[in-house]
Amino acid sequence: MPQRSTVTRDGVELVYWNWPGREPAVLLLHGIGNYGRYWSFVADAMAGRLRLIAPDARGHGESGRPADGYTSAEFVADALAILDGNAIERAVVVGHSMGGSHAMDLAGRYPDRVRALVIVDASPEPLAEGSIRATRLLTERPQRFGSREEARAYLVRTSPGYRDEMYENRVQWGFRDDAGALVWRSDPNALRKIIAARTSLPERWALLEAIQCPTLVVRGTRSNVLSEEVAQRMASTLADGLLMELDTGHNVALERPRELADAVFAIAARR
């Protein structure tokens, strides 16, 4: 089981989960609406080969929920605070979806802190289908559920096709108890502000061009976020980029955790 730790930046407590393992350390950044323990299946597949650190992003999980401060720059500053709090000079950074965008920002702006980068189904030009679906699920979802069974049934209905363990993970870590009911841990105000704070398209591509470290772009072949064309362009835009495609949807870490863990281990070994 991972160790729960915290660091505080500008009055916001940031919770993160630390799986012990060998160096170099790997910083795992989750997508919008998720939480650090989203990476539990990847951690199981990694099996101690590398040390893993997975924060609950601000406004998510057990981390603080400030009224403001949901720009990419704030998330990047949080990531740096967690690295500093663990005396980690350079990390392998893995980011999924929103976390992938923040990982690109971190690697582009702070190249001395990133040893290697893995961008998991995150796109500078996301497909409309995925963006519309994510916005709808995050902003129109019921806020309370009367029981674990009711919450689980909602997840199965809106995101079908996953293993039972994934739904159990989601219920356990995506919700908190509130007077006997279950409510989402991800803050509705934070979600709205994150959705509204996207950087411009030229800036997203410019960040990719600035990244110099070894970078792996991972795309699910059934993704509704990252198209094949954009994924190929990302890999060719990067100074040292590779593309890996897996037979999965957007949530690569849930559907193909073994292959993703092996890919992270391989890029971490590069010099």
Q: What is the pLDDT of residues 108-133, one digit of tens each?
A: 999 999 999 999 999 999 999 988 99
Q: Is the pLDDT of residue 106 over 70?
A: yes
Average pLDDT over residues 9-30: 97
151 in a domain, yes or no?
no
pLDDT of residue 251: 96
pLDDT tens-digit map of 32-46 = 999 999 999 999 999
Q: Which residues contact 166 (CB under 8 A, 6 or more apart)?
A: 41, 254
Q: Is the pLDDT of residue 212 over 80?
A: yes
104 in a domain, yes or no?
yes
Q: Which residues constitute the domain of residue 233?
A: 3-127+196-268
One-letter amino acid of 74 = E
Q: Is the pLDDT of residue 54 over 80?
A: yes
Q: Is the pLDDT of residue 100 over 80?
A: yes
Q: How many domains does the chain have?
A: 1
161 in a domain, yes or no?
no
pLDDT of residue 240: 97
Mean pLDDT of the chain: 96
pLDDT of residue 1: 84
pLDDT of residue 220: 97
Banded pLDDT at 64 (limits 50, 70, 90): very high
Instruction: Say which CATH number the domain at 65 has.
Output: 3.40.50.1820
Q: Is the dihedral of CA 28, 32, 37, 38 positive or negative?
A: negative
pLDDT tens-digit map of 67-78 = 999 999 999 999
Portion of the chain with pLDDT greater than 90, in percent: 91
177 in a domain, yes or no?
no
Portion of the chain with pLDDT greater than 70, in percent: 100
pLDDT of residue 10: 96
Average pLDDT over residues 86-97: 98
166 in a domain, yes or no?
no
DSSP string for 11-78: TEEEEEEEE--SSSPEEEEPPTT--GGGGHHHHHHHTTSS-EEEE--TTSTTS---SS--SHHHHHHH
62 in a domain, yes or no?
yes
pLDDT of residue 271: 63
pLDDT of residue 202: 86
181 in a domain, yes or no?
no
Task: Name the maximum alpha-carbon separation found in the chain.
Answer: 52
DSSP string for 178-221: ETTEEEESS-HHHHHHHHHTPPPHHHHHHHHHH--S-EEEEEET
Q: Which residues contact 115 (CB under 8 A, 6 or more apart)?
A: 24, 90, 91, 92, 213, 268
Q: Is the pLDDT of residue 180 over 70?
A: yes
| Calpha distance 227→126 (Å, rounded) | 8
Q: Which two tokens stand for residue 22?
A: 């060998």
DSSP string for 110-157: -GGGEEEEEEES--SS--HHHHHHHHHHHHSS-SEESSHHHHHHHHHH
